[in-house]
Structure 1
Amino acid sequence: MDRHEQLTNGLKKGAVVALSSAPFGVLFGAIAVDNGFSITEAALMSGLVYGGASQLVGIELFGHHVAAWIIVLSILAVNFRHILYSAALSTVIGRYPHAERWLAFFLLVDPQFAETVKREESGRAATFRWYFAMGAVVWVSWVMTTVIGAYFGRMIGDPKAYGIDVLMPVYFLGLTMGFRSRHNFFPVMLAGAVGSVVAFHFIGSPWHISVGAVLGILVAVILPPPKAHEEPDVSDMEKEAM
């Protein structure tokens, strides 16, 4: 693809993610205001922290006046998966110039990781132009929807009363199922799900996320690798790219 096509494709991918993640941005803005944040403070947190699930965890703990170090550790536990994301994309982001790598890591959220992996496995290079175009659209949308949610938050009242809080788990499930054709997907996913549920009951939130991730990794390591003659099924990815 030439540069224009890379830019256009990246913007399209970012627009799709922006539309699907808009309810989460609105949800965070509403919850932030409900926990004492101003509209400006909510927007700054979305722009600088830029991590949907970890922002929701942090804002809830802030509202309960928890010690700052506990909030930081809790956000770290939620964002542990980003360490795995960066490791998995090391060969991709490693192709970028040094300064652009830092920006790429900042934009490395869940949908950015998923779309980058799909693009690479479909035989097309995830160039920085494509990567940044997608990431910039998602970032701008996230900040804007946060402002909208914060502004109208008092009108919404308790977002949980409307069931808005279930949108994020559904969204993450959709991202996860996008990799269902990969080798050993179901046993790894099941191990992570069971591990996180058990940890939630015995350890509590948000540490159950990291426990589930570690257990999924262990199962992936134990299970036999794909045979040499097996080719990854990228038919679904190719359909998405069309």
Structure 2
Amino acid sequence: MVKNDTPRTSPSDDTIRLTLNGVWRGGRDMFAVALFSIPFGIAFGTAATEAGVPPLEAILMSVFTFSGVAQFAALEFWETPVAWGMLAFVVLAASARMVVMGAVLAPWMNALPAGRRFLTLAWMSDPNFAKSQPDWRAGERDAGTLLGAGLALWSLWVVGTVIGVLGGNVIGDVSAYGFDVVMVCFFTALVVGEAGRLAKTTGYKAFVPIAVAALVAVVTLPLLPSGWNIIAAALAGGVATVMRRDA
């Protein structure tokens, strides 16, 4: 009997579900990484206070927005009166990568009822999106893992914001502690692990889209507004993947 090791990339043969057990597993698996959302939350809470955002509004921004990049970008436009149009455009640009992420998630998320789908996607962020990809290709069909991981990240981001708003000046500059390297290591480990798995079945050409995306991200970083280099990298990596498959 020959075992089929081809990874599943479509949920058509399984039932997509959202369960409390999945939410628990997702939150548990993401908790260690989510702890490092606290320093970023502290940094935002401190920066928001220094920018003149009232404490309660700064906390509510983290509760309802949950987008670190967009929130930091919004502070640059926090004036009196607030330039709402420009503020909305900056937040949209900073979060544009979600369009690409949503397209990747579509085969799984569209199988859920609309209410559960929107509930899950409301807590989507970069770490839980990245974690979901190898899990779902390995056969995970409980969208609760994506939601649970997002809730873990969100709750500790809010905790960090509260700490930053109330005592950020006492703590000082959290970037001096080097917490940001944890997220870099997390994403690097996921990308290398997934590329290694693909290389076993498709050869080392699997690394080509990753190399192309990384190159585009670095080259366009000083050329494009903040966040747009990630969009350019994602599109370039996607084109490289299609070209590799057609070659």
User: Within 2, Cα distance between the matches of 1:143 and 1:213?
Assistant: 29
| 1:63-97 Cα shifts (integer Å, max 9, x gaps) | 79984433322322221221121111112222322
State the secondary structure of the residue aligned to 1:50: coil
**Contact 1:193–1:212 at 8 Å: present in 2 too?**
yes
Structure 2 stretches lacking a partner, 5+ long:
1-18, 199-204
Q: Tell me if 1:147 matches 2:162.
A: yes
Q: Tell me if 1:194 matches 2:240.
A: no
User: Within 2, Cα distance between the matches of 1:56 and 1:26?
Assistant: 12
How many residue pairs get aligned? The number is 222
Which residue number in structure 1 is paired with residue 12 of structure 2? Answer: none
| 1:158-201 Cα shifts (integer Å, max 9, x gaps) | 555x265x71x751453244022334553323322332333232
Letter in 2 for 1:218: V
Q: Give the root-mean-square deviation of aligned CA atoms.
A: 3.1
State the secondary structure of the residue aligned to 1:108: coil
- Counterparts of 1:109-148 in structure 2 under 5 Å? 109-128=125-144, 130-148=145-163
Q: Tell me if 1:32 matches 2:57.
A: no
Q: Percent of pairs identical after alignment?
A: 27
Q: Tell me if 1:96 matches 2:108.
A: no
User: Within 1, Cα distance between the matches of 2:74 and 2:98?
Assistant: 17
User: Within 2, Cα distance between the matches of 1:106 and 1:54?
Assistant: 15
**Contact 1:26–1:149 at 8 Å: present in 2 too?**
yes
Residue 183 of structure 2, aligned match among 168, 171, 185: 171
Which residue number in structure 2 is paired with residue 207 of structure 1? Answer: 228
User: Within 1, Cα distance between the matches of 2:55 and 2:73?
Assistant: 18
Give every structure 1 segment of 4 or more consecutive aligned residues whose post-TM-superposition deviation is greater than 6 Å: 63-66
Q: Tell me if 1:50 matches 2:71.
A: no
Distance 1:154 1:187, change over 3 A: same
**Contact 1:74–1:206 at 8 Å: present in 2 too?**
no
User: Within 2, Cα distance between the matches of 1:174 and 1:10?
Assistant: 16
| 1:38-82 Cα shifts (integer Å, max 9, x gaps) | 221111111111112222222234379984433322322221221
**Contact 2:46–2:164 at 8 Å: present in 1 too?**
yes
- Counterparts of 1:57-96 in structure 2 under 5 Å? 57-62=73-78, 67-96=83-112
Structure 1 stretches lacking a partner, 5+ long:
227-242
**Contact 2:77–2:87 at 8 Å: present in 1 too?**
yes
User: Within 2, Cα distance between the matches of 1:208 and 1:66?
Assistant: 27
User: Within 2, Cα distance between the matches of 1:225 and 1:19?
Assistant: 42
Give 1:4 deviation, angstroms. Answer: 6.9
Distance 1:158 1:194, change over 3 A: same
User: Within 1, Cα distance between the matches of 2:225 and 2:59?
Assistant: 28
TM-score, normalisation: structure 2: 0.75
**Contact 1:33–1:154 at 8 Å: present in 2 too?**
no
Letter in 1 for 2:219: V
Which residue number in structure 2 is paired with residue 233 of structure 1? Answer: none
